[in-house]
A and B are shown apart, each in its own frame.
Chain A
Amino acid sequence: MEGIADSRILIPPRTKSRRAQAVVEQGIKAFFGGNALVAVIVLALITIFLFREGFGFFGQNLSNLRLYRQAGLEYVDIIRGVASRHEALSRNLSEIRLSEVRAAQKRNAPLEEINAALAPFDRFASAFSDTADNLHGIVSDLTEQASELKEQLFARAELLAQRSQLERSGAATAAEKIVVPEIDRAAALTRLREGSANFESVSAEMTAKLYNLLAEAPPLPDPAGQKAFEQWKTRTREYLAGLPAASEKLRTWSPDAPIPWYRSISSFLFGREWVTASFWQDWYGIIPLLVGSILVSIVALFFAVPLGIASAIYVSEIASAHEKRLIKPYIEFISAIPSVVLGFFGIAVVGQAVRAASQSSLLKWISFFPISERLNIFTAGCLLGFMAVPTIFTLAEDALRNVPRGFKEASYALGANRLQTIGRVLVPASLSGIVSAVLLGLGRVIGETMVVLLCAGNRIAIPDFTQGLGAVFQPVHTMTGIIAQEMGEVVRGSTHYRALFMVGLVLFTITLAINYLAQKLVARYRMSIG
């Protein structure tokens, strides 16, 4: 009782007026509320900006696709497709030759002997590739014509847009001054068709030549090579059988066939090509970037999940208090390393080490070793995994620590050992917390930019999955990487610019979904622990 009496003396009675107090209260409320409001508004503005810049993409992409058809580029690409399949077959022949040479070298045959044995095959291969000479001639002529027409059409569309903009803003005289050249598209397209008129005769001639060639194809010394060669022959026959279909396509192709609006969306979401600033045709397909991001994330999680969760279990259940004090801040410190530094480390050390390891004779038995690219999915994934460890560790450790003590005690009291308690009680009880830790780690990984930009190799292509796990050692480009790399160079408002925004939106949606899922899981986990 005496203590209370003393404190009355220590703290003087409040002298401020009620009004002054109200002002202070309001000031406090305004300060904190204002900060929260700024954060909310900024987030809303970012979202609105993203959507505004991004959605313009679809209209522009649609006109881009329409121009592709109207200028006859699509028409030329049909013929180009025929020619490039021929080239692919030609490449297959050289691959067969290479494996043939390797097989012979294993038998320790001298090089001259190998070359002599393969001479008939070489003659066959060069004859094969010669058959397409005429075809390539047609393609290169038509390419020039079509791209010229495209240029003209594009320039005209630009001028028209400029003029209508001037008219809208009221500068009628200035608008008059802009001369829009008339383009005789019909004539140009007719020329295009004339140029390709001999496609049918060329392809018929090529077909005849190839059938003759196939009939007198030389045998190969190595049985495996012979088998591959036979498979190649079947493919070639299939190719030849498909030629009339290409001719048919050319005949029925119409430059004015409508392109439905949804093609603009589907060509983005499902397009397998991302080609920009090309003289021919730009493609904005997100699939190679999406696949790149996903593969890098899978590799990252492959490393980060076991590392993060196992160290969380160790710290929360096994480590002594002293170890805890040491390990926890140490792991959490990883997140303080700037990602660009990690990227350097990835290029200079990890990539180099992985390639060196792949070249060692101990790992020769792995079919896709040695690898050729130092910077690839694996390198980037390793580093990203490392970056995700603190996120997963911290949250998983939280989840494990929050498991009620009673569960642990009950388990031990029933005669469980430590492993059983961890595996049968603690981990199941905190599972949703752990899963959400992994999801948040995934969110971190998929949104990370610098490391993938530096270490993923930046080749815009879908990896060759026929190599199985070897696909992981190929370079890719990612959604985050492409935005960082190309955003600085694009013309503001161009289709490319807007395409990058769309990529950003897709990324935004993915991370939002991941975070939402993670939060739902955390909420459920809290309830189940009660």
Chain B
Amino acid sequence: MVATLEMPETTSPTIVNQPEQVPKAEIERAMIEIEQLDFAYGAHQVLHGVNLNIPARAVTAFIGPSGCGKTTLLRCLNRMNDLIDSARITQGAIRIEGVDINAPGVDVVDLRRRVGMVFQKSNPFPKSIYDNVAYGLRIAGITKRSLIDEAVEKSLRSAALWEEVKDRLHVSGYGLSGGQQQRLCIARALAVEPEIVLMDEPCSALDPIATAKVEELIRQLKEQYTIVIVTHNMQQAGRCSDHTAFFYLGRLIEFDQTAKIFSNPAQRQTEEYITGRFG
């Protein structure tokens, strides 16, 4: 984590820290509301006053140069940052369906079941394909075989992996190709029936064909899930997201419909980043 916090070295001199003047996109129904969020690792503040409403049943992309805090923000949404000592939200709140997820009464286990996550590097457990997908159900205390069987099949189908692995469910997940492993991780996240799926650069380690498959999958999944995806790939954000948020130096610079951001951004920094002038 900490390694990605370094500031980009080639800071364009034209960019100065600007006051909060972030325009809010028109959103029918906000699933996640982020309000004036400040976040710090120890004394090092990485997020500054982020305000963002993430719509339900749509794909929202976070873009921005390395170290801009987009992954940190993503990991705030299912409180994965709890695992890091000294990392904490210093101000502001995150609400999912109106409930503050950092409130003392919130059960983090429950939260993480509702907010699934797919990581940058595919990380199936050293177990069989079946056991990988069943893991979330088993730790939730479900022991009935028929229920698990059903859920495993359903999740693998949702992840568009079922046809490829149905004959070898009980071999190690490591026998799969990189793209298949990442889809297995998606299936594993879907098995516990979350409402939100967070994806942290899910295609950064995949070849173009595997990437295309995962992107196709993301477009299908938004029918049922609220998806938040962090990506470094502009084309990817353009291809599969409905809304895009651009971050720079820990601030949200612009948030709007993806089509608008990529065709006619309101901020000059966004435009420069998208057109590849820095970042």
A binds B: yes
User: Which residues of chain A have a CB within 8 Å of any CB of chain B?
Assistant: 320-321, 404, 406-417, 420, 424-425, 428-429, 528-530
A57 CB → nearest B CB, Å: 48
* Known pairs A410-B185, A413-B112; A404 contacts B139 (CB<8 A): no
Interface centre among A408, A409, A415, A529 (most CB of B within 10 A): A415
Closest 8 CB pairs of A and B: A406-B123, A414-B136, A413-B117, A415-B113, A415-B112, A416-B139, A420-B139, A415-B109
B74 CB → nearest A CB, Å: 11
Interface centre among B85, B116, B125 (most CB of A within 10 A): B125
Contact (Cβ within 8 A) B125 A413: no
Contact (Cβ within 8 A) A410 B125: yes
Contact (Cβ within 8 A) A415 B119: no
Closest to B132 in A: A410
Q: How far is the CA of A406 from the CA of B83 in the complex (A)?
A: 12
* Interface bits B57-94 vs A (CB < 8 Å: 1, else 0): 00000000000000000000010100101000000000
Contact (Cβ within 8 A) B123 A407: yes
User: Which residues of chain B have a CB within 8 Å of any CB of chain A?
Assistant: 78, 80, 83, 85, 109-110, 112-113, 116-117, 119, 121, 123-127, 135-136, 138-140, 174, 185, 188-189, 192
Q: Is the interface of A mostly helix, strand, loop or mixed?
A: helix
Our pick among B83, B110, B116, B125 for the contact of A407 (Cβ within 8 Å) is B125
Contact (Cβ within 8 A) A410 B110: no
Return chain B residues, CB-CB under 8 Å to A420.
Answer: 139
29 A-B pairs with C-beta separation under 8 A: A321-B85, A406-B119, A406-B121, A406-B123, A407-B125, A407-B126, A409-B119, A409-B123, A410-B117, A410-B123, A410-B125, A411-B135, A412-B80, A413-B80, A413-B116, A414-B192, A415-B109, A415-B112, A415-B192, A416-B109, A416-B136, A417-B109, A417-B139, A424-B135, A424-B139, A425-B125, A428-B126, A528-B126, A528-B174
Q: How far is the CA of A428 from the CA of B188 in the complex (A)?
A: 18
Return chain A residues, CB-CB under 8 Å to B109.
Answer: 415-417
B172 CB → nearest A CB, Å: 9
B197 CB → nearest A CB, Å: 11
B66 CB → nearest A CB, Å: 19
Our pick among B110, B116, B121 for the contact of A414 (Cβ within 8 Å) is B116
Closest to B111 in A: A415
Contact (Cβ within 8 A) B135 A412: no
Return chain A residues, CB-CB under 8 Å to B123.
Answer: 404, 406-407, 409-410
Additional pairs, 20, CB under 8 Å, beyond known A416-B135, A428-B126, A429-B125? A321-B85, A406-B123, A409-B80, A409-B117, A410-B119, A410-B123, A410-B185, A411-B125, A412-B83, A413-B78, A413-B117, A414-B192, A415-B140, A416-B139, A417-B139, A420-B139, A424-B138, A424-B139, A425-B125, A528-B174
